[in-house]
Structures are given as structure tokens and as C-alpha cells.
Structure 1
Amino acid sequence: MSWDTVELDVEDGVATLTVDRPDRLNALNLETLAAIEEALAAAEDGDARALVLTGAGEKAFVAGADIEYMRDLSTPEAQAYAELGHRVADAVETFPAPAIAAVNGYAFGGGCELALACDLRVASERAVLGQTEIDLGIVPGWGGTQRLPRLVGDEVARRLIFFGERVDATDALEYGLVGEVVAHDQLDGYVAEMASELASKPAFALRAAKDALNAANETSQAAGLAYERRVWSGLFGTHDQREGMAAFVEKRDPEFE
């Protein structure tokens, strides 16, 4: 499959999805959102064991939704646009392998929300992030009001959303909005190494771990703990569980499926 505004490369179990509209700072219009949704499905069908999201060019990860497109939307049209954005973010969040956002530049509005849907976020020293919708007369509409406070805490999330603050990589790291900051010219290689290491892990167990971690945000602690018990015990008898424990006992490297 091919798309005009998205590139997907799957190699050695790692799917790299690049939003490719550098002339528009990789802003997400309808075509691009639909392409991302299709590319995510293709990556899943390709049995990707790790997913990397990034943006083309030197300036932006994803600078946000396409404001020129949004400005004249009716309420029903805006609802449909929001639903598509939510489907894409949800597809990233529930992708059956760890997803890493390689934030190589601007990540505003919907771009920040796309990063929030990932499991891990690594930022270039040049990155600038923010939920900037308030200055457009709107609020985050693709999950930011829900995912951001779970990541950075309620007070910080309210400040970022109320003021539409744009934070550099150093402040983003301090807030917990990203997990690591690396030199700009090292970002791609660093994230590629992370993704490669994740792809070498037992895929079924990683997916179970991701599902259990996501459940912590959706249910009570008691329900989440019950889910964890079921997932944990359900891994026993799988090839990767048998192989991982045998390799540990036998003091050798495991050979996971």
C-alpha cells in the first residue's frame, strides 16, 4: 500500500510510520489521518513487533491538525473529524506492540495528542510540544484532555491546556511529557535501537503487558489487578514463556518466536 502523505517501512519487525507533509509541517488533514489509520492497520497485518511514529523534514513531528481545513467546519463535520482523530489515536494506543514517538520538532495540538497515544516518547533537543488549541477558540479534541493529565498530573495538564503553553524539550522532560531528550542528529538512530530491542522481546508477552498497562487507565485498581492476574497466568504454556524461563535456568540467551 502507498499513500501521498504517509510513509510506512517495516523491517526486522519494526514498523516506522512517517507523516510526510513537510511543506505543511506535517499537519493532519483528512487525507493524512485516513492514511495513518490505514498504515497502522497495514503495520499490524505485517506483524510489526514495535512501532515508531515520526514526521518528515527538520522542523516538525506533527504541527497539529490542519487549521485551514478546520476553520469553516460545521458542528457535524467537526464531530466526524474528531471521531477520525480519536480512531487514529486509539489505534496507536491499542496497537499490539509498543509504540514510540520520535518527536523531532513541533508537536502541537493533534500532533501532541498523537505522541500522547504512544507508549514511549523520545524528543529531539529541538522539540517543542503543547496543547495549543485554546488560542484557536477550541480545546484538545483527539484525547488530550484525557491522556495528558494521566501522564503529567492534573495541575500541569490544566496549565498546559488552559494557557496553551508551548514547552521546549527540557521542560517537557521535567513535566514528564517525554521520557528522554537526545541530540537532534542522534534521534533517529537512538529510537531505531530502542525499537530494535523491543522487537527482539517476546511479542505475546509485550502485547499482554501493554494491554494490562492500558487497563490501569480504564478501570479501578481492583479490576486492573484482576486483569493482570489473568494475563500473567495466561502466558504460561506459551512458547516464549517456556523458552524464556528455560534460557534463564540454562544460562543462555532465549530464542523467542
Structure 2
Amino acid sequence: MADPENRPGPHTSPLPGYALLRSLGKGVIRPGGAELTRTMLTALGDLSGLDVVELAPGTGATASAIVAQGPRSYTGVERDALTTRALERVLDGRGTVSVADAAGTGLGSGSADVVVGEALLTMQGDTAKDAIVAEIHRVLRSGGRCAVHELALLPDDLADGVKQDIRRELARPLKVNARPLTVREWTVLLSRHGLTVERADTAPMALLEPRRVVADEGPLGAARLARNIISDPTARDRVREMRRVFRAHRDSLAAVALIARRTTIS
């Protein structure tokens, strides 16, 4: 069911795409869906006994899976104070939430073994991407790892003009200046800040495809989402346009999950 504080209605039209989908009741808003998140967490291995930080955890879809492993500590860094209420309910005392920006978490240097971030960097410009990744490096201990799950462009040699066209088309329905990178560009971004990519997994970008929605939300959740979309014509038009753009560029859009280890910047 949609959050009563963000009940669907005409006021949803100016919301960024992720916030619109969340207000309509979509719980998993990740490019590769819950399946790629599971792949990413499996690649990280056993998190028990580790200090884990999650950037922009939203309402806690991934946080729940992390704390179920029994880490020594879990800290969610979320700048939206309203969203933290839902996250705190999911954590139920098994972790803490800090209201802060991902580029300035306020956490101690070298205080985390693992930093996780999903669908965060894609929505940032180049300067903000650099600031967030630099903060990840600062917060991680030597040898610590980060895991990011983002929107990617394919192939690595995609023409710059095509990249610009895709970004421009994404910006209209999403109402944010989404700037996905190729897998190689994501790798270079991380390495520039002392994070060496050890693994990259990709998946189709099928966020709004019926099969993915049912897999992510379950049959009842998918039905509620569909009902909320249908009942709000303005939101329905936005969602249709998002899906149209995703489908139009399906050969060039993908999801990527990267695992990188903190190294020394030369």
C-alpha cells in the first residue's frame, strides 16, 4: 500500500521518478531489481561481524537483507528525514539511521568494512558522483569493500551522441538529470578514488516490465501498484512514458552491480 503521507494523486506529477514510484507503492526501485541486489549481496559474502554502511537505503528493501545476516553494526545514511521513519521500522532496533548526505555522511574515517549504495550515483552529475565515491573511500577501512548497483549504458564504446540522447530522454519522465555510465566508465570512476573493481554483474534494465514487477513486489504488491497507477491519470502517464523510454533504449540500457575494494590512491 502506498505510504499515506505520499498518497498517489495529482500532486505526484512533479516528483522525481523514484519518488513517484515509491508514492505509488513500488518497494524495489533498483535498475536490476531484487535479483541483482541478491547477486550483489551474495558476492559480498558473509556480512556477520562486519560494520556495514548503506547510502540512501530508502525504505529498507536492501537493509532488511543486510541486517538479517547479523553484521556487527548497520548504519543507513538517508537524507530524507521522512523516509527514515519507514527504514527505522524495518530495522526494528537492529541498526541505526543517520540523516545526512551521501557526500558528507559525518561518519568516522575508516569506520566501515562494507559500504553499499544502490540507484544513487546514476542520479548525480559528475561532480556529485566524484564527491560520493570519495566519501565511500574515506569511510572504508583499508581492504574494505563497496558494492554499488546502478544503471549502465551498453556497450562500453557507445557513441557519445547516443549517450547524450539517452540521458536527455530519461530526464523528461524521471524529472532528474540521470547520468548513467558504461560499465567501463563506472569502473574508472571507482578506481579514480582508490576503489579497485573486483567483480561486475549485469542484468536487463526491466524496472517497469510486468514480470519484473511481480518478481520484485509479489503478486499482491504488483496488483496494488497497478491499481494505484490506474487510479491516478497523471501518474499513469508518467509511468507509461518511463516505460516507453526504457523500452526504446533496451539495447543500450542495463543494470550493473560492482564490487570494489579500497586501495591506496597513487
What's the TM-score bracket when you normalise by the shorter of the two chains? under 0.3
- Higher RCO (Cα < 8 Å, 6 or more apart): 2
**TM score, norm. by length of structure 1:** 0.27
Q: Which has the higher helix share?
A: 1
* TM-score for the superposition, normalised by structure 2: 0.26
Determine which structure has the larger strand proportion and give its number: 2
Q: Larger C-alpha radius of gyration, 1 or 2?
A: 1
